[in-house]
Amino acid sequence: MLELHDITAGYDRRNPVFTRAALSVAPGESVGLLGPSGCGKSTLARVAALLHRPDAGRVSLDGTEVRAWRHRAPRALRTTVGVVFQQPRMSADPRLRLRDLIVEPLRAAGRRTGIPARLAELAPAVGLTDDLLARRPHEVSDGQLQRACLARALVLRPRLLVCDEMTGMLDASTTAALVTAVEAYRAETGASLLAVGHDRLLLERWCDRTVDWSDCLTPAGGGSPTS
């Protein structure tokens, strides 16, 4: 489903955040990527979600090699991946009501007719009521906003979901509720999951397998760790 080969990435070519990282996620598989904060795992997650162009390396998604990132990526490829970040307040447009936030990718894709039906499926799946759907981000809690961000990530039915510290700032019950919603979606669609985080207990309970960040990196002078 997702193949990341020999990826080098960062925000300054002369000083990359990491070099030669590798990771793969099989179709239908859930993989937890574990590492301390600041190690670069979030950057790798952004590469996988087509949001960050790597300096070097190969990425393939669903058998297609990725050649362009961000808005340059072909729409069909972009909609293959859904992504949820740690800080819902930084990723949600403060002006939009939750309902519009969730369906905005459908609008952008020109699929307006499907909006009411998709919303009717997703809102209960993530536990949002009509009252909450009518509010703007500052009128809801972090947990409620993150529920909306998850619904938004699922709205185009991605075949891969990338969750970067999705529950990092949430309480135990909201965490379990979001994980339950992700797993219900995966059971229904067979989608794959890449969950990135630092909580070993959580990711080991949640995912089919976990990978330590240090094991994603090629030892100096060695071959690719997955080869």
Partner 1 sequence: MNTRVLRALEAVTAERAEGAVLSVRGLTVRFRMRGGRQVAAVTDADFDLAAGECLALVGESGCGKSVLASALLGLLPGNAETSGTAVLDGVDLLTADERTLARTVRGRRVGLVPQSPAAHLTPVRTVRSQLEETVRELTGVARRERRAAAEAAAERAAFPAGHLDRHPHELSGGLAQRAATALALIGDAPLLLADEPTTGLDRDLVERTVDELRRHVDEGRALLLITHDLAAAERVADRVAVMYAGRIVETSAAHRFFGEPGPRHPYARGLLNALPDRAFAPIPGMPPELTDLPPGCAFAPRCARATEACATLPEPLAGVACHHPESPRA
At its nearest, how many Å lie between partner 1 and the CB of residue 131?
8
Nearer to partner 1, 148 or 156 (CB): 148
Q: How far is CA 171 from CA 35, 115, 146, in A?
A: 21, 31, 12
**What DSSP string runs through 68-135?**
--GGGS-HHHHTTEEEE-S-HHHHS-TTS-HHHHHHHHHHHTT-GGGHHHHHHHHHHHHT--HHHHTS
d(CA 16, CA 53): 12
| Lookup result for tokens 């690719």 | 224
Nearest approach, Cβ of 201 to partner 1 (angstroms)? 5
Q: How far is the CB of 71 from partner 1 (least distance, A)?
A: 30
Which residues contribute to the site for partner 1 (CB under 8 A)? Answer: 36-37, 127, 129, 141-144, 168-177, 179-180, 198-202, 204-206
Provide, rounded to whole angstroms, the least separation between the CB of residue 182 and partner 1.
12
Q: Which is nearer to partner 1, 51 or 169 (CB)?
A: 169
Measured from the CB atom, the residue of 108 and 184 that comes closer to partner 1 is 184
